[in-house]
Structure 1
Amino acid sequence: MFRMTSFGATIDNSINTGRGPYVFRVSGQIYHWIGNFCPEGDDTPRFLQLCIYDTDHELRNRLSHFESHERQALRESVIQGLIGFLNDNNALVKLFRTARDKLQEADIPNFSIRLFGVIRAHQYELPTADSVGAIVYDGSPEAVTDYDVVIQRHSGEPESVNKLHPAYMALPFPLLFIYGEEGYHLKLALRNLDGNGHEERKKMSMKENGTNR
């Protein structure tokens, strides 16, 4: 309900031909896709669009993606509480809310949202909206790096989020990364002390990072 990217994979259902329990099996690579920050035409907003578009009816829009029997099992007060918590604490959500406010201004130039691939200097500080991304207006001289994610208002093709991007995990799992904190990236390091008390550092692998989570 709160994920900000869509899931992409080739799902193999050939294993589910018997009477056993359902098995979710993926063939090949898993992708997290991020699309435009405004829906096309009369499409219902979804994923990160829910943080930006028609937020006066955000609860209704989020529930619209569930079947009626599924909605009956959901508590609207809990969902509204989670929306408020993410608004107050999640750096990515705050950035997208800023984009929403910009859209409501008159005569605003066209802009895109850019999620930075640059790591903060202070690794253990909670992220802020201006540390995870920025609103970039058309014609801005700012460059885009290989690890930046650029989100267009309309007509941008869905983009696969690089697994080395700091926001790779926070976008699809905002209730696990409630502050929008960064996940794995290439500058994560392990600190070890050898027998002589000398500090050694080596790069942390993605597997080691996942184990520590």
Structure 2
Amino acid sequence: MYKKCSHCLAKRWPSEPAGICCSNGKVKLPLLEEPPQPLLRLLTGSNPESRTFLKEIRQYNCAFQMTSFGSSYQYEGGFMPTFKVQGQVYHLSGSLQPTENEAPQFLQVYFMSDYLKQAQRRNSFTFACNNDTITSNNRLKLIWDLQSMLHEYNNYVRSFKYALELNPADNFSIVIDADNRPSTEYAGRFNAPSFNEIVILLSCDQHHSRDIVIRQRDAGLQRINETHRSYDALQYPLMFVRGEDGYHFGIPQFDPSTLEYNFFKTVSCKDFYAYRFMIRDQKDNSDQNNDTGNMYTIEWQKRGLPHAHILIWLVDNICSNDIDKIISAELPDPSVDRDLYNMIKVHMIHGPCGPGFRRDLPCVKDNRICTKRYPRQFICETQTDTDGYIVQTMKTRRWWLHCDRKKLRDRQQMGHTILPNSYQHL
């Protein structure tokens, strides 16, 4: 099903090159910590609000992001609104506190003295179009919980609050070094920033061009360099809850032959994110491989509705009897379930096309042959081949359905689910 890297235990498809995950052992990064609660329960589906949260997760992240999104773009309205980005996408950072008569936004919201007003502010500018009182109250409660989590765990938020409390002057700046510590000091390189990893400077002090400089109160915006270690953490706080470092120029390569870091060679941006994106085992379980896999793709149909194609790999091959319990290609008995019978009659019948039926349909080739292979042959038992494809059982029945003044049996219909008291279909 998949191959496992001998260096980092990453799972990859057989056709993928061996070094795609860790550049054959040259990239070695610490694993990201498990998200704290309540985010972990929301992500794993164990929270009653998980379904709504995952559906709107981008909006929730926008409610807490510390930097703003910037680009040249076009917006086209109408039946299918389209947002087109032109050129490069970039992130912008403002000051810690808003200027006079300006409402706080992005990073500035974290420093509002009233936590309830913080949550209300996030809820109002993120979900402004929703007027449902019950839904709004649930969102406000969820935002409050996530907000409390970030105040407790995110080291950027804690560091910024500490800087504001420590320095009462109005002209100071906070500087976040672009590459963390010097390349000869590897310890803690990938950890979240601690209090001493930000520097408080007077407005006249010097800093490097790629550093992030956040002033105490300023109307200007600073563009954040894409290779700054905080680029991801400030924009995606729900992905990097503790403020973990992203890519920067100072990440050394690992030498698998000496088991030491080579500080004269650094990891590329591509290799860094390739390592982060891969799924890997925490430990080697090659002797007992009970893993399952799944893959899906979502298409958007002409009317803008989502349509999913899902593949699921099981540990053991599913037998034909189990398939028949889930999906059927036979007409249901109208005397047992008239509603399901009527739904299949309306929605699940192909054509009818071919000889004796309409020949002007798109599926008909040479005015006689259906390219979708309808009508199908009757089959007594469901069959599976070595690749897992199934040919479902279609037995002759005593009941028919009428379509275009013709009698049809099971051979012209497509599969539908068999769930008790359910009228769903595939």
TM-score by length of 2: 0.43
- Choose which of 189, 193, 196 in structure 2 pairs with 1:127: 193
Hey, what's the Cα distance between the residues in 1 that align with 2:199 and 2:258?
40
Tell me if 1:115 matches 2:173.
no
- Following superposition, the deviation at residue 185 of structure 1 comes to 0.4
Hey, what's the Cα distance between the residues in 1 that align with 2:258 and 2:166?
51
- Choose which of 121, 124, 128 in structure 2 pairs with 1:61: 121
- Within 5 A, what are the aligned runs for 1:75-154? 75-102=139-166, 108=169, 110-120=171-181, 121=185, 122=187, 123-131=189-197, 133-138=198-203, 142-154=205-217
Tell me if 1:209 matches 2:272.
yes
User: Do 2:72 and 2:85's aligned partners in 1 also have CA atoms closer than 8 Å?
Assistant: yes
Hey, what's the Cα distance between the residues in 2 that align with 1:164 and 1:127?
16
Hey, what's the Cα distance between the residues in 1 that align with 2:238 and 2:103?
22
Tell me if 1:2 matches 2:64.
yes
User: Do 2:179 and 2:250's aligned partners in 1 also have CA atoms closer than 8 Å?
Assistant: no
- Following superposition, the deviation at residue 11 of structure 1 comes to 1.7
- Following superposition, the deviation at residue 23 of structure 1 comes to 4.7
2:243 aligned counterpart, secondary structure:
coil
Hey, what's the Cα distance between the residues in 2 that align with 1:149 and 1:89?
21
In structure 2, stretches of 5+ residues that fail to align are 1-62, 277-426
Tell me if 1:181 matches 2:244.
yes
Deviation readout 1:118-155 (Å, 9 max, x if unpaired): 42331244431322x1332345xx53112211112333
Deviation readout 1:19-59 (Å, 9 max, x if unpaired): 5x555431101110001221123222111001124444211
Deviation readout 1:92-117 (Å, 9 max, x if unpaired): 111221244357x5xx4531221122
Q: Cα distance 1:149–1:70, how it changes in 2: closer, same or farther (>3 A)?
A: farther
Q: Cα distance 1:143–1:118, how it changes in 2: closer, same or farther (>3 A)?
A: farther
In structure 1, stretches of 5+ residues that fail to align are none
Match in the other structure for 1:39 = 98
Letter in 2 for 1:190: Q
- Choose which of 231, 234, 242 in structure 2 pairs with 1:171: 234
- Following superposition, the deviation at residue 182 of structure 1 comes to 1.0
Give the paired residue count. 201
Hey, what's the Cα distance between the residues in 2 that align with 1:181 and 1:128?
11
Letter in 2 for 1:143: Q
- Following superposition, the deviation at residue 157 of structure 1 comes to 1.9
**198-207 or 22-31, which moves further after superposition?**
198-207
- Following superposition, the deviation at residue 174 of structure 1 comes to 1.0
User: Do 1:53 and 1:100's aligned partners in 2 also have CA atoms closer than 8 Å?
Assistant: no
Letter in 1 for 2:124: S
Hey, what's the Cα distance between the residues in 1 that align with 2:124 and 2:81?
26
> What percentage of residue pairs aligned between the two structures are identical?
28
TM-score by length of 1: 0.80
Higher relative contact order (CA 8 A, sep 6+): 1
